[in-house]
Amino acid sequence: MKFICSSLLVLLLSSASAKKIADPAKRPSAEALLPGKVFDLTNWKLTLPINTGNKANPDEIKQPLLNTYTNPDYFFTNKTNNAITLRANCGGFTTSGSNFPRSELREMVDNGTKSASWSSTTGTHTLFIDQRVTHLPDVRKHIVIGQIHDADKYLIFFRLENDQLLVSVNGGDRDVLDEHYILGTRFNIKLVVKDNTTQVYYNGALKYSYKMNFSGAYFKAGAYVQSSCQGDKKTPGELCSAYGEVELYNVWVKHE
């Protein structure tokens, strides 16, 4: 009798175990890829909206660490493992020259060991970003998602303001690329700089050209919110937990 009961117990346990393994809902989810596996991050560094002991500066993740770096709050792969998610909250730490937080990639050279610095007068310089904006701050719904910068200031950038996707020149023109952008829509943008002219492409079509002479330049891409819950640029009513978010499917730079 004891043998029969023991056998029955083993059978019941085996059946329960088999049912657990066979149940798809109980299987472990697919392991998330590292952001560095989605596309090549060799010649980039990452600025985050946090400070973990870097005096007055936000955290920066450089190569070779960036290739294997992820952060569950600000820099991670999306659910389908085919894009890098960058997120910046309105209460985040900022760089010394800005009132707003960012989770943003900055162009580098020599396998990420040196800062990129190039001129509009020499060569052809191209930035391509395949992306979608997935979240905006709650009150001031503005985010910068790609730009050209020099040593002192931004020169030209892509920006989403509410549902208007536009390109903006520092102290100059603002040209609308999409008057009714739907949050979560995937699109691509391209900047081509040659002979002191910057050409702006949206989904493959040339939308805007601007004459500008500059040097010491580099490209940036990511989530740079334009709202804050604190400081001189505080947006009334904006919570520090409000955030902007971008998914990058691909980013590449070419210099010829």
In this predicted model, what pLDDT tens digit does every residue of 42-73 receive, in sequence order?
999 999 999 998 778 899 999 999 999 999 99
Higher pLDDT, 106 or 151: 106
Q: Which residues contact 89 (CB under 8 A, 6 or more apart)?
A: 49, 101, 225, 240, 241, 242, 243
- Run of H or E including 17: helix 2-22
Digit-coded pLDDT (tens) for 159-174: 999 999 999 999 888 9
pLDDT of residue 23: 35
Q: Are 48 and 66 in contact (CB under 8 A)?
A: no
pLDDT of residue 215: 96
Domains delineated in the chain: 35-255 (2.60.120.200)
- What would you measure as the largest C-alpha separation in the chain, in angstroms? 93
Digit-coded pLDDT (tens) for 227-256: 999 998 999 999 999 999 999 999 999 999
Percent of the chain clearing pLDDT 90 (strictly above):
82
Question: Of the candidates 218, 224, 70, 79, which has an alpha carbon nearest to the alpha carbon of residue 145?
Answer: 224
84 has a pLDDT exceeding 50: yes
C-alpha 31/C-alpha 13 separation (Å) is 29
The HSE-up count of residue 71 (CA atoms within 13 Å, CB side) is 17
186 has a pLDDT exceeding 60: yes
Percent of the chain clearing pLDDT 70 (strictly above):
88
Mean pLDDT of 128-142: 98
Higher pLDDT, 9 or 85: 85
Digit-coded pLDDT (tens) for 95-106: 988 999 999 999
Q: Give Cα 37 distance to the centre of its chain.
A: 15
pLDDT confidence bin for 15, thresholds 50/70/90: very low
C-alpha 246/C-alpha 214 separation (Å) is 28
